[in-house]
Amino acid sequence: MPYLPCDLCGGTDARFLMACERLDGPLVRCRQCGLVYVGERREDFTFSRFDPERSRRLAERVRALELVDEEVEVREAPVREQVMAERLRWVQRFIASGRLLEIGCADGAFLKLAARAGFHAHGIEPDPVTSAVARQCSNIVVFPGTLADAPYPAASFDVIVLFHVLEHLDSPRRALHEIHRLLRPGGVIVIETPNIASLWFRLLGRRWRQFIPDHYYFFSPVTLTRLLEESRFRLLALTHPKRIVSLRLLSDRLRRLSIPAGRLLLRAITRMGWEERTVTLRLSDVLLAAAVKP
């Protein structure tokens, strides 16, 4: 059975890498450019549109795989704000103010910080529940839909950010072409996305934490750079971001490697009262890139 064409180079010759129950289809690598992606979409949970039934099936799949503990996620809100602040500092390295658009803004947490820092903050979010939460904030503007549907004219923004969104999209190449249109000349794009060329993937294989049912594209420094350059951007910086995590979240993410080990660690840190303690990590399995539209 033929695999989907490569979104980066259009190639139709992909090599099977592995089957993984956490993904929506087989993981393959393009023989021409090296892009790693899901070669067949059985459910198609991509961010191409909002579909309540599809969202329900995705939520059921995530619950069945025990990938997310909802209580942990809720209690992580204070730490998550520190993560957003770190992302904002990275953006401010390249642009200090202007019109900012976040694609996949969820409940608007990053946009609120950006607005306080002086940006004119806009967001796009297809999920009606989280976009409604974001739209309650008086100092940000959120479009409840997808990038393809958003009613923005050319050269509307000074900076556009995508934090762990690129891997969810129907076509990253098509999205970057639209982002290029929306950015003014000299505007900056910032992308954070999993790094398939990491030691963690080589060590953990199917148990790698970045394998979840709605991840479809897995970039490396080489393929992400190529995507940006072929979308007419000039790379400014490419690194691995720092991440502030609580010991509670760290134990929860360990569950993706081993459910018993994650639960054991969580019980241990709870008994010791260390749930709120944080550590700063710089894992190699995430990429953070900034590029400019010449």
- Judged against a pLDDT cut of 90, whether residue 272 lies above it is answered with no
Q: What are the tens digits of pLDDT across the range 120-163?
A: 999 999 999 999 999 998 899 999 999 999 999 999 999 999 99
* Residue 275 near residue 247 (C-beta atoms within 8 A): yes
- Residue 283 CA to residue 97 CA, distance in Å, equals 29
- Residue 167 CA to residue 172 CA, distance in Å, equals 8
92, exposed or middle or buried, with CB in 10 Å at 0-12, 13-18, 19+?
middle
- Residue 111 CA to residue 120 CA, distance in Å, equals 9
Enter the tokens of residue 195: 């790094």
Q: What are the tens digits of pLDDT across the range 214-234?
A: 999 999 999 999 999 999 999
**pTM as predicted:** 0.92
Q: What is the pLDDT of residue 260?
A: 74
- Residue 64 CA to residue 259 CA, distance in Å, equals 12
E strand or H helix at 123: strand 119-124
Q: What is the pLDDT of residue 48?
A: 81
Average pLDDT value for the chain: 92
Q: What is the CA radius of gyration of the chain?
A: 19
- Judged against a pLDDT cut of 80, whether residue 54 lies above it is answered with yes
* Residue 153 near residue 181 (C-beta atoms within 8 A): no
Q: What is the pLDDT of residue 264?
A: 78
Residues 256-283 have a mean pLDDT of: 77
Residues 81-97 have a mean pLDDT of: 95
Q: Please enumerate, as own/partner, the contacts of 151-155 that have beta carbons within 8 Å and a separation of 24 or more.
A: 152/101, 152/182, 154/181, 154/182, 155/181, 155/182, 155/183, 155/184, 155/185, 155/187
Torsion of CA 82, 87, 93, 95, to 10 degrees: -120
- Residue 149 CA to residue 103 CA, distance in Å, equals 12
Q: What is the pLDDT of residue 1?
A: 66
Q: What is the pLDDT of residue 76?
A: 76
Q: Please, what are the domains in the chain?
A: 14-292 (3.40.50.150)
Enter the tokens of residue 170: 């129907």
